[in-house]
Structure 1
Amino acid sequence: MAASGLPPLPPQFKPIQHFLRTAQELEKREPVVAYYCRLYAMQTGMKTDSKNPECRKFLCKLMDHLEAMKKQLGDNEAITQEIVGCAHVENYALKMFLYADNEDRAGRFHKNMIKSFYTASLLIDVLTVFGELTDENVQHRKYARWKATYIHNCLKNGETPLSGPIGMEGEFCDDQNEEDGSPALPNQESQPSSSTYESSNVPASSYTGIHIPPGAHAPANTPAEVPHNTSVTSSTLQPTPQNIPIVDPSLYNVQPSGEIRLTPEDFARAQKYCKYAGSALQYEDVSTAVQNLQKALKLLTTGRE
């Protein structure tokens, strides 16, 4: 991959090519997510092979590119503060997941939703640059990869996929599919389309074992092309009004008790909720913002979540 001034990708780094390609596709509309995709690729490459001259040359160029991006985005809190960056990437991954999940449940199977499922799984991998994944994100990643592979194979074989979770029979990403670092998905070389997509009228959904926040919506400009034969049009779709959760009346004018002893961990968690709320507001997701602010307020005033 010679994009963005990088030398050709060494064969040893084939597993990270999809992260670099995703970064390239998101370069203009989501530079923060693109930055962390490249950071994940560099960290993975360092673990894979940092001694081979060809690999070392590639990693040095990638590191220079990351430094240039960091300088360009230097005033962005999502770059300077990891907790904000984590919330930003996680929020975008979830919204992309929801776009694909809503299309799936509506029975609209097309290349864009397949790639959105798979890209969401890649972005959850990227979250490991901030630390260990939550159980919820692990389940989202597993489901997204399985769905992407399952629907792609159905369409390839001329079969009609079944919507929603249907059992996840067997391992959807076996060793053969992961020889090149990804499931056997449609051509990943395609460039993102210029069409803009907002959330559809399909309500946000959830499936067994995984919680999806109510009121969450898909991001604009999902990264894959939408074929002309789908029911999704290229015009901007207007989102349905969000169901904003009612603020718990008990939280009004509440003052922390003198007996409350907040730990540094409590303050860190409260800060995390506030950052998540700020990230949600970037996507005009009022419901998620309110929920996280309520969590932070309850923690600070009661010492409990």
Structure 2
Amino acid sequence: MSKHKSCGLPVMAPPTLPPLPSNLKSIQHYLKIAMDYETRDPSISYWCRLHALQTGLSIKKEKEDLSFLLALMDWLEKTKQNMKSNETVSNEIVAQAHLENVAVKLFNWADTEDRQKHYNKNVVKAFYSAGMLLDVSSVFGELNEDVAQQKKYAKWRAAHLHNCLNSGEIPSEPAPKPDEQLINDSENLEYGFSSDFKPESGHSHVHDSVRPSISVPPKPDTPPSSVPTYVQETSSVLVTPEQIVQAQKHCKYASSALTYEDVPTAIDNLQKALRVLQLGQQS
């Protein structure tokens, strides 16, 4: 076991697993993202593999499926024990806030690039990863409507941009109504991203090593009709129970950010919590 490069948190060696059985192909995306975050953020890696395990247990059919899942389960048990001092693993409230915070930061970066018409594979990767990480958040319980809608849009936009880059077509404007079939297809795409992608760098150029490994025929896209509303805004100055929950969530995000010495994100979320409580504005 080593230490996380940036914050001194323990890093477990990746699990030694048998080949992924064909019946469990649907969990390979979560396992790939877990590998991407292996040293960058071990807690994200842990929750991705736990989600993969839970999904796999619900679909296992053959003996080889169970052998694979038992090996994964063994790694998860050891990792949880060795990382018990890390609240983003041991405390589910902190873990959920951290996981959603990472996903939202990815989404916001991708959405900003998308609206500036910086169409490239890094933007696809960020949308895709955000959608998958929000999927992983379901290990903590059913996603609320806002998170579920953001997950749905992120997956759709990743698949849409991926197809447009392959076909040479111009992508539709951001935030149309997602096409259901394209969302489903997005979970079967083999994007073939490099694991060193870091949207925090702010670069919008395309890395030569980032190549989708298959081409999926473009699907007809639903014309722009409505912008997904990720958070409802209100003009009321009364603080409702829902707004109190929203303020608590921002405080959890801030705490999670400070764990990783991300002071700007912590300040931003604390300011958002204050706006909710002082002005009754959800942000």
TM-score relative to the length of structure 2: 0.72
Contact in 2 for aligned 1:120/1:141 (Cα 8 Å): yes
Aligned sequence identity (%): 37
Greater helix share, structure number: 2
Unaligned runs of 5+ in 1: 202-206, 214-247, 249-262, 300-305
Aligned AA for 1:192?
S
Q: Does 1:210 align with 2:229?
A: yes
Q: What is the 5 A alignment of 1:236-247?
A: none
Q: What is the 5 A alignment of 1:115-194?
A: 115-169=125-179, 171-174=181-184, 177=185, 182-187=187-192, 190-193=193-196
Contact in 2 for aligned 1:277/1:293 (Cα 8 Å): no
Residue in 1 that maps onto 2:28:
17
For residues 159 and 112 of structure 1, do their structure 2 counterparts lie closer, same or farther at Cα, with a shift above 3 Å needed? same
Residue in 2 that maps onto 1:256:
none
Bigger Cα displacement from structure 2, 159-168 vs 131-140 = 159-168
Q: What is the 5 A alignment of 1:259-298?
A: 272-281=249-258, 282=260, 283=262, 284-285=264-265, 286-292=267-273, 295=276
How much has 1:292 moved relative to structure 2? 2.6
Instruction: State how far apart, in whole Å, the 2-side matches of 1:77 and 1:24 are.
Output: 20
For residues 195 and 34 of structure 1, do their structure 2 counterparts lie closer, same or farther at Cα, with a shift above 3 Å needed? closer
Contact in 1 for aligned 2:80/2:89 (Cα 8 Å): yes
How much has 1:68 moved relative to structure 2? 2.3
Bigger-Rg structure (1/2):
1
How much has 1:107 moved relative to structure 2? 0.8
| SS of 1:152 mapped into structure 2 | helix
How much has 1:280 moved relative to structure 2? 4.0
How much has 1:93 moved relative to structure 2? 0.5
1:107-144 deviations in whole A, cap 9, x for unaligned? 11111110111111111110110001011111111111
How much has 1:57 moved relative to structure 2? 1.2
TM-score relative to the length of structure 1: 0.68
Contact in 2 for aligned 1:111/1:186 (Cα 8 Å): no
How much has 1:46 moved relative to structure 2? 1.1
Residue in 2 that maps onto 1:40:
51
Contact in 1 for aligned 2:130/2:154 (Cα 8 Å): yes
Q: What is the 5 A alignment of 1:93-112?
A: 93-112=103-122
| Stretches (4+) displaced over 6 A | 265-270, 296-299
| SS of 1:5 mapped into structure 2 | coil
Residue in 2 that maps onto 1:29:
40
Instruction: State how far apart, in whole Å, the 1-side matches of 2:131 and 2:123 are.
Output: 13
How much has 1:294 moved relative to structure 2? 6.0
Q: Over aligned residues, Cα RMSD in angstroms?
A: 3.3
Residue in 2 that maps onto 1:197:
200
Contact in 1 for aligned 2:175/2:228 (Cα 8 Å): no
Residue in 1 that maps onto 2:92:
82
Contact in 2 for aligned 1:280/1:289 (Cα 8 Å): no
| SS of 2:26 mapped into structure 1 | helix
Instruction: State how far apart, in whole Å, the 2-side matches of 1:209 and 1:266 are.
Output: 20
Unaligned runs of 5+ in 2: 1-13, 205-225
Residue in 1 that maps onto 2:207:
none
